[in-house]
Structure 1
Amino acid sequence: MTTTVSPARSRTGSKPAGSHLTGTGAMVRLALRRDRVKLTLWLVAITALVPRFYYAAVTAVVPTPEALAEASQMIRVSFMRVLGGPLFGDVTTRSYFLAAYWVEFLLAAAIMNIMLVTRHTRAEEQTGRAELVRAAVVGRHAQLTAALIAALIGNAALAVLTTAATISIGFPFGSALLFGASLAAVGLVFAGVAAVTAQVTEHPRGANGLAGIVLVTVWLLRGAGAMQGQEGGPLFWLSPIGWSQQTRVLAGERWWPLGLSALVAALLVAGAYSLVSRRDLGASLVAPRPGRASAPSWLRSPFTLALRLQQGAIAGWGAAFVAIGFILGAMTGGMEQTNLPIFAADADFGRAWLSLMVFTGSLYTGAFAVLSVIRLRAEEVRGRIAPVLAGPTGRPTWYWSSLLVTALAVVVLPVVYGAALGIGAAVSTGDLGLAGEVVRASLIRAPEVLVLLAVPAALLGLAPRAMNAAWAVLVYSGFIQILGPYMKLPDWLVNTSVLSHLPWHPMGAFAPVATVVLLAIAAVLTILGLYGLRRRDLASG
């Protein structure tokens, strides 16, 4: 009697178990389900800001034909083209909206894609989840393919939503569609960039950092190209952001520059597949450097260990603050000559501009603070905190040491930013005293950022699974403070913003009562976080 054994079939369908794409469909569904909240928030936020920025522009910046002409002239002849512009075609409120804000939407689309692809590739490998998934009938390329398909779906949704949003502010359908497609094109390019950087480094932070460096580089190339000519010079064409702007929405529209984005995205994706085939799961193309056989004596305390772990992030943010601060400060000279309604009629427009930029620095520093505390939760989830706490270091010592390093950083970083901002302003205006004035103004706003730091610290102890709610607090505070006056929101609602209690004008004004209250709130929230941390179980890793 003989028995015939038929070949086993893959549980995922008729594809052979050896196919590199086996299980891709299931991985796509999993990625979209896991990202149903994060991706939705990104799409809603970017889409909602289209009519909101347009409304703010037409009501506060260019409410009259005279203001529109002056603002447009400033973009054409000043350093403002580095951040916005160029201004294509006839001067209208909609062309001004594109010149002033288009770059910001393109940057947001790029960041959304970088984080999405890294989250579903390198982050999955580092946590070990990718190894568990690959133990089933899942192909070698399924995970990367699923991440890219999720990015493609996200960008398609972004294009549709932003097309509808721009139609709502009066854009013709074809122009609105081209605007939405321009955002999706940049998103796809940086999905490809993240797919490549995810193969290069061992950690998701490193992959995000490399992709961020690429993003900053192409942004700077676009800015340098914008200064070469009214409609962009040769350097403009070296940037995917520039390609999207060169579609010239509302001014002789053309779709072909988006073909460059599609071509580069395809090349990057092909490169990512080639790289993923050349490395082991969990490994990286750039091998991590082995540490020393013994740690130096200064690393023996929890504080110095926390400083060592955060020094790379602090240095990176500091370098970015220097570059951004100097560029923004260099625009002060042009602002002194303006008469835009966004500032009070009797304001010193140069100092009013610097006050606004100092506030912007608080937002940047708040983002650093939130990321730093979220990193602590990530370290806990990955099981790296348990060995530290198994020794003589207790939870309170670890908690206070880590937060103290971040707290010192959110005091030092505004000083660095303020110094760069002040030096740029001094160079553009010839007023050397601005440097010290801006540094003082930046430092005075530190209590706001300490509250933004304390919010995720409290969540770390009391509700660690809700850590991302700290982003909601930061975004809400910035949104209410910047757009609240233009939306004519009631004072009580504006005062719910963390960033609404220290004065903007005059620059560097000190409010002792508000400062003490903010510091007290930060202290209470931080203590509540420690209370919760001591009472809950650690994540098992």
Structure 2
Amino acid sequence: MSAVTAAPPLGTRAAPGRGGTTLTGTWSQVRFILRRDRVRLLVWSLAIPALYLASLAEYTTLADDPEGMQARAALVQTPAMVSMTGPGYGTDDYTVGAAVSNELVLWMVLALAVMSIMQVVRHTRAEEESSRAELVRAAAVGRHAAVVAALVVVLVVNLVVAALSSAVLIGSGLEVVDSVAVSLGVAMSAMTFGAIALVAAQVTEHSRGATGLSMAALGAAFTLRTIGDMQQMHGSWVSWLSPIAWAQQMRAYVDLRWWPAALGAVVIVLLLVVASALASRRDFGAGLVPDRPGRADAHPSLRGPAVLVWVQQRMALLWTALGLAFMWFATGTIVDQISSMTASLADNPVYASVLGTGEVTKAFVGIIVLYAALGAAAYGIVAALRAKSEEEAGRAEYVLATPVSRSRWLGASLGVTSVGTVVVLVTGVLALAAGAAVAGAQDVTSGEITEAGLLYLPALAVFVGFAAALFAWAPKASSLVWLLLEYTILVSLFADLFHLPEWARKISPFWWVPNPLTGDVDAVHVAGLCAVALVLFLLAFAGFRRRDVATK
């Protein structure tokens, strides 16, 4: 791909000899993106309102039970729930609206933030990386048209989700103004991460790098919000460093205030200005931070498909492991504060009867270990599906044209992926244990934390094996593995909230993972997960040997 000179700033006249501005063709690309991603965007648009609807069914049932609502309010104030939900407003007189604001906003922001990041990177950096953007720009299309089109689509989807969510909340009898406010606040926070992804797309040359940087920013925001909300009731100044907290600090249904949403709007505008300036100073197809030139001749150690896969995945593994490890270390430093934070609730009979006080710290640590395992599972899925990207780009065909068998090529990919997934989990768990040890935590030991994390390894192997089996047998359906991860998150965090039956919980691989922090280890469950993972890996090898390899 040939590089071109830097373009003028966003919205100015295009280069001489071409009519229009740098935004020419924006609406055509908006329509194209909407048509291309219509199914994907429809699922996102309906999933969030559906989650609101399912939760409201639970909340409205409890509304007629004041003691039940206050028991829920007591749980919301526990450290474990603060880390999972937010600062907890309106707990003195817990209502359905307060439950929505306290318990759901965080997860809605996270879900829409991931959607915004993926959509922005998909239609900016990924298009340049694949050379499709160069073909589009050969027509009468401005330099910034694709960027603006991607942002417009993300904005439209977030507004549609906000409108549908508001309709669901209002239809359930909640206040109109507060329902609109909480929906717009969630959309505003999510759009902030979309703008961050746009900046990241200008910095790095590859889509996986842009996605990694954006997800790291999301993880840092989650960590800052958790630390800030744990430091003091209703959050400290640290909470305000996180865009996630801005939606929560609107205090919908309790003490509504609009100015935190304005803060998000200002940050989004600033990020767009920064992205525009960066885009105008880089070559098309390149990033501000260029890749280092490689050796003229390959080192003998680079022979073999496993080394090739390692070279492709090592930087993503490095930054993912370091970013998550930093986040879990920071979280571990507040473990010693859990007992003192729960002391203020010791006189609450509902709290004492539901959780007690002796195992609260271990319960909190168990949830953080769960988060670390979910992060490792997400990395494992991305890395496992790298084989699909190699096949679609035609590079797998070149490798298989050499004396490399299909089993060896797939085995190399899955081997490096499995090792990387283990590294992400182990470094995260060790960082959490180190943070707890540095803070002087007494209620849980480093050995207990490490053991709890290692027991997730068989479940992570199930995720990697499932992704590999889908790739081998039905490449077009390989994204279904993300549905399994989303369902696992749902079961792990909201199974009791939604009163899921036992059979529905057993679908999640993490349901079978024993927790030594709060119970005994069931060796049968561990062995069962190992067996399922082995079967999935064998199915992957069998399927890949039997199907045709896609050619570019």
TM norm. shorter chain > 0.5: yes
Which residue pairs with 2:183 in the alignment? 180
Question: How far apart in 2 are the matches of 1:457 and 1:160?
Answer: 38
Which residue pairs with 1:87 in the alignment? 88
User: 2:49 touches 2:165 (CA, 8 Å); kept in 1?
Assistant: yes
Which residue pairs with 2:113 in the alignment? 110
Which residue pairs with 2:543 in the alignment? 532
User: 1:395 touches 1:533 (CA, 8 Å); kept in 2?
Assistant: yes
| Counterpart pick for 1:23 among 22, 25, 42 | 25
Partner AA of 1:120 in structure 2: H
User: 1:22 touches 1:137 (CA, 8 Å); kept in 2?
Assistant: yes
User: 2:55 touches 2:498 (CA, 8 Å); kept in 1?
Assistant: no
Which residue pairs with 1:309 in the alignment? 312
Which residue pairs with 2:446 in the alignment? 435
Which residue pairs with 2:520 in the alignment? 509
- Is 2:141 aligned against 1:130? no
Partner AA of 1:193 in structure 2: I
- Is 2:412 aligned against 1:411? no
Question: How far apart in 1 are the matches of 2:503 and 2:275?
Answer: 51
Q: Deviations over 1:419-456 (max 9, x none)?
A: 33344455667437621122112212211111111111
- Is 2:359 aligned against 1:355? no
Which residue pairs with 1:371 in the alignment? 382
Alignment map for 1:222-233 (pairs within 5 Å): 222-223=225-226, 225-226=228-229, 230-233=233-236
Output the aligned Cα RMSD.
3.3
Residues 493, 183 of structure 1: CA spacing in aligned structure 2 closer, same or farther, 3 A cutoff? closer
User: 1:200 touches 1:207 (CA, 8 Å); kept in 2?
Assistant: yes
Structure 1 window deviating more from structure 2 (156-165 vs 274-283): it is 274-283
- Is 2:248 aligned against 1:245? yes
Alignment map for 1:20-419 (pairs within 5 Å): 20-52=22-54, 64=68, 67-68=71-72, 70-71=74-75, 73-74=77-78, 84-89=85-90, 91=92, 92-93=94-95, 94-167=97-170, 170-223=173-226, 225-226=228-229, 230-329=233-332, 330-331=334-335, 334=338, 340=351, 348-419=359-430
Question: How far apart in 2 are the matches of 1:114 and 1:406?
Answer: 23
Question: How far apart in 1 are the matches of 2:353 and 2:137?
Answer: 56
Residues 283, 317 of structure 1: CA spacing in aligned structure 2 closer, same or farther, 3 A cutoff? closer
Which sections of structure 2, spanning at least 5 residues, go unmatched?
1-17
Which residue pairs with 1:523 in the alignment? 534
- Superposition deviation, residue 405 in structure 1: 1.7
Which residue pairs with 2:15 in the alignment? none
Structure 1 window deviating more from structure 2 (207-216 vs 349-358): it is 349-358
Partner AA of 1:182 in structure 2: G
- Superposition deviation, residue 147 in structure 1: 0.7
- Superposition deviation, residue 387 in structure 1: 3.0
Question: How far apart in 2 are the matches of 1:465 and 1:369?
Answer: 18
Partner AA of 1:133 in structure 2: V
Is the partner of 2:179 in helix, strand or coil?
A: helix
Question: How far apart in 2 are the matches of 1:169 and 1:397?
Answer: 56
- Superposition deviation, residue 122 in structure 1: 0.9
Residues 333, 230 of structure 1: CA spacing in aligned structure 2 closer, same or farther, 3 A cutoff? closer
Q: TM-score if structure 1 supplies the norm length?
A: 0.85
Residues 220, 448 of structure 1: CA spacing in aligned structure 2 closer, same or farther, 3 A cutoff? closer
Q: TM-score if structure 2 supplies the norm length?
A: 0.84
- Superposition deviation, residue 394 in structure 1: 2.5
User: 1:197 touches 1:210 (CA, 8 Å); kept in 2?
Assistant: yes
Question: How far apart in 2 are the matches of 1:115 and 1:302?
Answer: 29
Partner AA of 1:257 in structure 2: P
Q: Deviations over 1:264-287 (max 9, x none)?
A: 322322333343344333222222
